[in-house]
Amino acid sequence: MSSLAEPGCACVVRVLTVSLLLMLGLCSCSGKAIDLGRDPEILWWTDHETGDLSDWHRGANSSWLAYGGTLAVDTQQARSGRYSLDAQALAAPKGTTSAAMLLRTGDLPQAAYYSAWFYLPTSATSFDYWLIFKFRSRTPDPNPVDVELWDIDLTSQGSELELRVFHHASTADGGIGSEIAPATPLAVPRDRWFQVEAYLRAAPDDTGELVIWQDGNVLYDIHGPSAPSAYLQWSVGSAAESLGKGVARAFVDDAAISLRELGPDTPPFWRGE
């Protein structure tokens, strides 16, 4: 398990809860449910078992909805308990983004692990990009400006989807950025839950880091400038540009911000009844 100081190393460089009850066991291959509210290293988490989006909206947080995108909590799919987030982006004209993303902002730590589980029930057809996991930052004081930072996208590779990182120019000058291919690509599974976890240390110098795992497998291990300042904004959901037809739909569950790596073997979250 990686530590905050040393999760890995390598070098690389789009615009765009209450008090919890004792946990009960779940029928899940991930093992017995755990009470993350009692773990001081878990800074924030949600299993959506409130039946709404209130966990996401605690604090200075918001959502990004564009061109018919929808966010809902329902019971169609859930990794744990009964509920998960259902994020849907719709077909849109060329160059138009349909978005349904939830954001955590404000007092995020300079260095932390960000984890969420995803379930893709169907395949979107053609798209310029399909975003499910994102970091933004802002330029330093005295006149901070929000900037795009790191996107984790789904890209079409023949009949399969794979994760890709898009690194925006981390300034406010409208720079475009570049896509980075993983050293060892992995197919993104359909019709089953998979975990995306990222360690990000936001820094404008060589102390910056970004490590990304898919189901515990390292896809990216990037050292060097990672953000123009320590301010971070994290979002998950579904956003697609130029989606040809259909729906870019992603279910999301068991999301967390922590001071330690969680990994795919962490038991499912559940607050019990």
Residue ranges with strand state E in the chain? 42-46, 62-66, 70-74, 84-90, 97-104, 111-119, 129-138, 146-157, 160-167, 178-180, 194-201, 209-214, 217-223, 233-241, 247-258
Mean pLDDT of the chain, nearest integer: 84
Residue 52: what residue type? D
Percent of the chain having pLDDT more than 90? 66
Q: Tell me which of 68-77, 138-147, 233-242 is least confident.
A: 138-147
Q: Is it true that the peptide bond before 268 is cis, omega within 30 degrees of 0?
A: no
Give 196-218 pLDDT, tens digit per residue: 999 999 999 999 999 999 999 99
Average pLDDT over residues 158-172: 82
Q: Which of 102, 107, 75, 78 is nearest to 88 (CA)?
A: 102
Q: What are the residues facing 166 on neighbouring strands?
A: 151, 179
pLDDT classification of 23: cutoffs 50, 70, 90:
very low
Tell me what pLDDT residue 11 has.
Answer: 33
Residue 261 contacts residue 195 (beta carbons within 8 Å): no
Task: Give me the domains of the chain, ranges plus CATH numbers.
Answer: 42-204+218-258 (2.60.120.200)
Give 127-152 pLDDT, tens digit per residue: 999 999 999 999 998 999 999 999 99
pLDDT classification of 3: cutoffs 50, 70, 90:
very low
Average pLDDT over residues 17-28: 28
Buried b (16+ CB within 10 A) or exposed e, 224-240: bebbbbbbbbbbbbbbb
Q: Does residue 14 or residue 219 have the better pLDDT?
A: 219
Residue 14 makes CB contacts below 8 A (sequence gap 6+) with 129, 131, 148, 151, 153, 166, 168, 176, 177, 179
Q: Tell me which of 13-22, 38-47, 75-84, 181-190 is least confident.
A: 13-22
